[in-house]
Amino acid sequence: MARSHRHTIRVRYGESDQMGFAHHGAYVTWLEEARIEWLRAAGTSYRELEASGVLMPVIECQVRYRKPLRFDDVVELETGIVESGPSRVTFATAIRSGGELRAEGRVTVAAVTREGRPTRLPAGLVELLG
């Protein structure tokens, strides 16, 4: 994964469930936070991207859970780009804690206009993706 970016979060209490583990739904939120921080590290603000009229909704999301995480665990998310086309990008994220792989995420987003029509990725982002 070229241009990978590492982002750290800590599991919130409300993200735990009655099994005593971080609920599987919480990971989806962390992946989103990690993508937004990847963009920031690459010099792009997703907030400004939306303000400029380009939305990037998720069109596919996949998570493989290897080993549970718990409340208060410090978690590192290493995110990179694994595929890109004129109007979509696929991010892959390795989710680690205590030096171990805990889960893997893969999320594809597509560029659309505010009216929901497909559009091209912003030029700055395309350049970044090489």
Of these, 1, 3, 8, 64, which contacts a second copy (CB under 8 A)? 64
Site membership for a second copy, residue 42 (CB under 8 A): no
Q: How far is the CB of 120 from a second copy (least distance, A)?
A: 18
Q: What string of DSSP letters covers the chain?
A: -TT-EEEEEE--GGGB-TTSSB-HHHHHHHHHHHHHHHHHHTT--HHHHHHTTEE--EEEEEEEE-S---TT-EEEEEEEEEEE-SSEEEEEEEEEETTEEEEEEEEEEE-EETTS-B-PPPHHHHHHT-
Among 1, 3, 8, 25, binds a second copy (CB under 8 A): 25
**Out of 59, 74, 82, 101, the residue judged to bind a second copy by CB under 8 A:** 59
Contact segment (CB under 8 A) with a second copy among 43-51, 75-83, 85-93, 120-128 equals 43-51
Q: Is 71 among the residues that bind a second copy (CB under 8 A)?
A: yes
